[in-house]
Structure 1
Amino acid sequence: MNDTAIKVYSEIGKLKKVLLHRPGKELENLMPEYLERLLFDDIPYLEIAQQEHDAFAKIFESLGIEVVYLEDLVVDSLLNDEIKLQFIKEYIEEAGIKESRESSMLKDYFLSFTSPKEMVLKMMEGIRKSEINDYRGPRLADFLSNQYPFIIDPMPNLYFTRDPFATVGEGVSIHKMHTVTRNRETLFAKYIFNCNPIYKGTKLMYDRTEKYSLEGGDILILNEEIVAVGISQRTNPNSIEKFANTLLTEDSSFKKVLAIDIPKTRAFMHLDTVFTMVDYDKFTIHPNIKSDIAVYVLERGDDGNIKITEGKGSLEDILKKALNLDKVKLIKCGGNSIIDAAREQWNDGSNTLCIAPGEVIVYTRNYVTNQILQQEGIKIYTMPSSELSRGRGGPRCMSMPLIREKV
């Protein structure tokens, strides 16, 4: 592993390197009948979504931030035929293909790609039944299952690179996702951190084989000593305790994990839809977060075991105490207007990506929140978002920092 491959000790340190996934043809495999299954509310128009995503990447590049793409890191991890064959085998198994006849056909299909990148993009895109001749077998079950149009489902959520794994300090947590639909995404992370010459050997804080779900949108690194993790619809309290046990070691700068209990609804899907950090003492927040929330402080006791202390208070008080500040500023998405707040929260107005203290990337469409951010002294970089926002995630959701400067 490259010693400087991963360094992330805050939410706000100057960003130096970031991981993205440019949306691909997986979005063109979304169908109205199966949107719920694939965790979408709408169908983005791919061509415009890609233009918007390219504009997102250009913001980074214009500021000297290195952009790397998920698909390229996966390709660079398939170093030889043995690794490639194992990757294909695992992918087919995790796609739920159980019969040897079908598995063999799919293996041959993937091996027919002369370009490894085209093969990886096809895996992300999913496979329609119309793409492989004679895929339907002679059994009764094959006739009955013929209504469903895919051999392998697409992975349309992949452009939200924040969730399948998370960089913490100089390590990584590879996640057990809450839904079957998204759990396959973490296979790509497995190969990056096991095989990629730059990233293999990275310390693992959590693994995709664990029993309980943990997702990256719930992990916020408040500073070098404190990580906040949301107890959410998609992150289980048992996983947070296991994560804390691996993170809080003697040689780690991290001393505490704050487990913050948030509503278990789609509107509050992850902790980063509730609040994001935009400066040393400023946060955007979901306008409907209740005044008192429960927080559980996990830290290593004198006996070496994790001890848990329960607390309750306003988000403002919790953050002030955690960051040792006299005051913090909570900036409401949509301001004080119920209508503006509801509309802009729907389009992830509080899901900003901080790229340096007091500098954030935001969606153009959330103009009410953006104006308030500017009034609070925050510098904003806006990106178009008419199609990307249909996936219900903002700039933070769509990015995984790999290197930040320490603050």
Structure 2
Amino acid sequence: MTTDRKPFLDVRSEIGKLKAVMLHRPGRELERITPQYLHELLFDDIPWLKKMREEHDGFADALRMRGCTVYYYQDMLADILKDEHVKEQLVAEVLTKCNIANPDLEELIKDFLMEKTPQEIAEILIAGLHKKDFPEIQREKRLVDHIKEEYPFYINPLPNLYFTRDPGAVIGNGLCVNSMNTHARDRETMILKYIYTYHPNFEKDVTPLWYDYDRRYSIEGGDILVLGENVIAVGCSERTSARGIEDLAMNLFKGDGKIQKVIAVQIPFTRAYMHLDTVFTMVDYDKFTIYPGVEDKVKAFCLTEGKNCPKVEPMGNLQDALKQALNLPSIQFIQSGGGDEVTAAREQWNDSTNTLAIAPGVVVTYNRNEASNDTLRKYGIEVVEIEGSELVRGRGGPRCMSMPLNREKI
């Protein structure tokens, strides 16, 4: 079937005026992090939810004040759960992936959830189902129930979901539903695929899917930068695999019609350099903020279309690779922390380079990164500061917390 409808999803740059974004307002899932499960849930610290929500509301308000429409992941999930078929299918798939391993108990939990409202189920699928949330029912316990008795959840919480950047990425008029590197985040992408499939905002029939969450090779949104209409950069990192980049590149070359190059940027495979946008983001047509010293630790490769896999050519240093990719005579690297080694390291811990561009030369940052923000201003960048003392505990900044859906052309 052909259609002349214009897709709602449209992102052809990192810096075009942000018109629509998907966020997730932190919820009860953050109150279910305990020291015992910090590592498993990818957190380094225990957040304070009340303050976190205040800060996140301030972030959303800052975007709205600049003309951006904010859509919430949980609201869109509740919207599609109004359809009984979708509700039953999603609940069944979630429970299957929870590996409850007791069919009778799984059926009881399914019946319990199916009686809930769409809003209640949406919250449970994100905040998790604690065993205390489930009514005591007289039933015969199997061995697996006794073995797992001390574990507190039937459905795990998703505390990382407020970093909506990673599960999905809009490139052009299409969507990547990413294959996450860690199992703790798999359900985020599964639910996003349901939203893509059933929510009218995503207009599936005119919105191509560039990548799917059930693919074998990992790729995460924090590594994907839409540099321009014809080129994207993808970090090859601790979370994003080289093969995932190759597969995404070929899908774009064959399906998008505009993307001609993918710049793969290999960064150190460590948590400190978790994603490319942890250490490097675009803030203007020819300006990038970068953690000092990163440019000496990365390698860049240019991927172009091949017959069965991309052609790969090593490029020069990162600065030369970007000039070539963007067809610019020069670019500027703005070092976070004013280039001071100690200050940069301190502010990097608070995601000083994880900026969100909301227009050319206008970025959202945490206000606590004073030296980095002052440095950006010295280079002519307008800095919109938000509170982030609690939000930062999940190790992510404004770019991590946002999934752009639509940007103006530049």
**Mapped pair 1:125 → 2:127:** yes
2:235 is matched by which residue type in structure 1? G
**Mapped pair 1:373 → 2:376:** yes
User: What is aligned with 1:149?
Assistant: 152
Kindly tell me: are residues 251 and 167 of structure 1, through their superposed partners in 2, closer, same or farther at Cα, counting changes over 3 Å?
closer
User: What is aligned with 1:384?
Assistant: 387
For residues 137 and 294 of structure 1, the distance between their equivalents in structure 2, rounded to whole angstroms, comes to 58
Q: 1:174 is matched with which residue: 163, 172, 177?
A: 177
For residues 306 and 138 of structure 1, the distance between their equivalents in structure 2, rounded to whole angstroms, comes to 51
What displacement does 1:95 show?
2.0
Give the 4+ runs in structure 1 shifted more than 4 A. Answer: none
Aligned residue for 2:406, secondary structure, equals strand
What displacement does 1:185 show?
0.7
Aligned residue for 2:201, secondary structure, equals coil
Q: 1:287 is matched with which residue: 282, 292, 302?
A: 292
**Mapped pair 1:209 → 2:211:** no
Q: 2:399 is matched with which residue: 381, 396, 400?
A: 396
Aligned residue for 2:149, secondary structure, equals helix
Q: 2:271 is matched with which residue: 255, 262, 266?
A: 266
**Mapped pair 1:225 → 2:230:** yes
Runs of at least 5 residues in structure 2 that lack an aligned partner in the other structure: none
**Mapped pair 1:3 → 2:17:** no
Kindly tell me: are residues 392 and 250 of structure 1, through their superposed partners in 2, closer, same or farther at Cα, counting changes over 3 Å?
closer
For residues 326 and 230 of structure 1, the distance between their equivalents in structure 2, rounded to whole angstroms, comes to 23
What displacement does 1:134 show?
3.3
Kindly tell me: are residues 132 and 251 of structure 1, through their superposed partners in 2, closer, same or farther at Cα, counting changes over 3 Å?
closer
1:26-45 matched pairs, under 5 angstroms = 26-45=29-48
For residues 158 and 91 of structure 1, the distance between their equivalents in structure 2, rounded to whole angstroms, comes to 16
What displacement does 1:298 show?
1.2
What displacement does 1:293 show?
2.6
1:215 is matched by which residue type in structure 2? E
For residues 137 and 296 of structure 1, the distance between their equivalents in structure 2, rounded to whole angstroms, comes to 58
What displacement does 1:290 show?
4.4
Deviations 1:112-155 (A, max 9, x none): 22x31221011100121122133685234322322222222110
Q: 1:94 is matched with which residue: 87, 93, 97?
A: 97
1:235-254 matched pairs, under 5 angstroms = 235-249=240-254, 252-254=257-259
What displacement does 1:46 show?
0.3
**Mapped pair 1:163 → 2:173:** no
What displacement does 1:312 show?
4.3
For residues 62 and 325 of structure 1, the distance between their equivalents in structure 2, rounded to whole angstroms, comes to 32
Q: TM-score normalized by structure 2?
A: 0.95
For residues 91 and 50 of structure 1, the distance between their equivalents in structure 2, rounded to whole angstroms, comes to 26
Deviates most, 245-254 or 122-131: 245-254
Runs of at least 5 residues in structure 1 that lack an aligned partner in the other structure: none
Matched length: 404
Q: TM-score normalized by structure 1?
A: 0.96
Identity of aligned residues (%): 47
1:130 is matched by which residue type in structure 2? K
The answer to whether the 8 Å contact 1:215/1:235 transfers is yes
Kindly tell me: are residues 14 and 142 of structure 1, through their superposed partners in 2, closer, same or farther at Cα, counting changes over 3 Å?
same
For residues 130 and 78 of structure 1, the distance between their equivalents in structure 2, rounded to whole angstroms, comes to 24
Deviations 1:52-91 (A, max 9, x none): 0000010111111111101111222235211110011011
User: What is aligned with 1:363?
Assistant: 366
1:9-24 matched pairs, under 5 angstroms = 9-24=12-27
Kindly tell me: are residues 63 and 250 of structure 1, through their superposed partners in 2, closer, same or farther at Cα, counting changes over 3 Å?
closer
Q: 2:53 is matched with which residue: 50, 55, 62?
A: 50
The answer to whether the 8 Å contact 2:352/2:372 transfers is yes
**Mapped pair 1:352 → 2:338:** no
Kindly tell me: are residues 250 and 269 of structure 1, through their superposed partners in 2, closer, same or farther at Cα, counting changes over 3 Å?
closer
